[in-house]
Amino acid sequence: MKTVIPLIAQLSEAETAAWLAALKPALPDCTLVLAADLTVAQRATVEVAIAANPDLADLLALPRLQWVQSLWAGVERLVAETAGAEFAVVKMSDPQLAATMAEAVLAWTLYLHRDMPRYQTQQRAQIWRQHFLPLPSQRTIGLLGLGDLGTQAAEKLVQQGFTVCGWSRTPRMIAGVETFSGEAGLNEVLQQSQIVVCLLPLTKTTHHRLNHQTLALLPPGASLINLARGAIVDTDALIKHLDCGHLSHAVLDVFDTEPLPPHSPLWHHPQITVLPHIAAPTNKQTAALVAADNINQFLSSGEIPPRVDRNLGY
């Protein structure tokens, strides 16, 4: 008999159908069922579920659940909402997602490196003025977070000729990147970064990690790119640093509240580029294969893939 794998998702009908279409061929030996369609007997057998913005009640209704495969790389909400639950959470760890994120990091780094916000402003005022362009090697980019996404992004920036430094919780080695860890390490990275890119997970420790004090460590004229989660940055502090001229620009893809509310001052701030959470959209085909590999491995060996550490929150 085929193993029943529920897809527990609060997505639009079209999105759900598209995920089912990607997952079904990747899991030919399993029966994929939406949470609402599980029979009582099926519910009692489920050991692994696939989740995307799940309703907590649907997960808690599975008495033998051992682990959940998230379709998203960011699992902060899932981990927080299921605190205390026995089952493991496995985040989406897809090399294609990391490549897409690295592309976004390069794109927005080049946007700042090539002074595009300034030339846009000049165009509006019909100003024809050229500014000095440093070599990429003369520009230090600091990456906060050197996990699946930060590592590939750092490598891409190195390939492009930038000087790259990075920060993680535990020490990491990446060829061509000066790496730091721990509290003192953050200070070092911020002090030398002309562009700082945030790819940290949102946890109790990283909440408002970029605040008035830490943003003050950045050199004058530095810029921020936040592609991780909004609440890692204290928005009020960021606005103050931009308004007083200490920082020159911020590219924000993620916000405390999404969609960004219409009354948010961020929409119209001249030194902020607002993006609607588009840095690294999950590719359903590649993500489905990653999820399927993890599930097939578990079904054949009983081994749960590397899981989120619930104490650390990522």
- The minimum distance between CB 297 and ligand OXD, in angstroms, equals 21
Query: Which of ligand NDP, ligand OXD, none sits in contact with 149, Cβ below 5 to 8 A by type?
Result: ligand NDP
Q: How far is the CB of 72 from ligand OXD (least distance, A)?
A: 4
- The nearest distance, CB 125 to ligand NDP, in angstroms, is 32
Report the residue number, 229 or 249, with the smaller CB distance to ligand OXD: 229
Nearest approach in angstroms of CB 155 to ligand NDP is: 13
Interaction site with ligand OXD (CB under 6 A): 72-74, 282
Could you say which of ligand OXD, ligand NDP, none residue 200 binds, taking C-beta under 5 to 8 angstroms by partner kind? ligand NDP
User: Which residue's CB atom is positioned nearest to ligand OXD?
Assistant: 74
Which option in ligand NDP, ligand OXD, none does residue 172 bind, with CB closer than 5 to 8 A by kind? ligand NDP
**Residue 214 binds which entry of ligand NDP, ligand OXD, none, with Cβ cut-offs from 5 to 8 Å by kind?**
none
Helix axes 116-124, 95-113, angle to 10 degrees: 50
Query: What residue ranges bind ligand NDP (CB under 6 A)?
Result: 73-74, 145-150, 167-170, 172, 199-203, 205-206, 227-229, 253-254, 277, 279-280, 314
| Minimum distance from residue 202 beta carbon to ligand NDP (Å) | 6
Of the two residues 47 and 148, which places its CB atom closer to ligand OXD in the complex? 148
DSSP string computed for the chain: -PEEEEEEE---HHHHHHHHHHHHHH-TTEEEEEGGG--HHHHTT--EEEEES--HHHHHT-TT--EEEESSS--HHHHHHTTT-SSEEE----HHHHHHHHHHHHHHHHHHHTTHHHHHHHHHTT---------GGGSEEEEE--SHHHHHHHHHHHHTT-EEEEEESS---BTTEEEEEHHHHHHHHHHH-SEEEE-PPP-TTTTT-B-HHHHTTSPTTEEEEE-S-GGGB-HHHHHHHHHTTSEEEEEES--SSSSPPTT-GGGG-TTEEE--S-SSPPPHHHHHHHHHHHHHHHHHH-PPPS---TTTT-
Residues marked active site are found at: 229, 277
**Which residue's beta carbon is nearest to the bound ligand NDP?**
147
Q: Which is nearer to ligand NDP, 77 or 240 (CB)?
A: 77
Q: Of 117 and 147, which CB lies nearer to ligand OXD in the complex structure?
A: 147
* Residue with smaller CB distance to ligand OXD, 54 or 74: 74
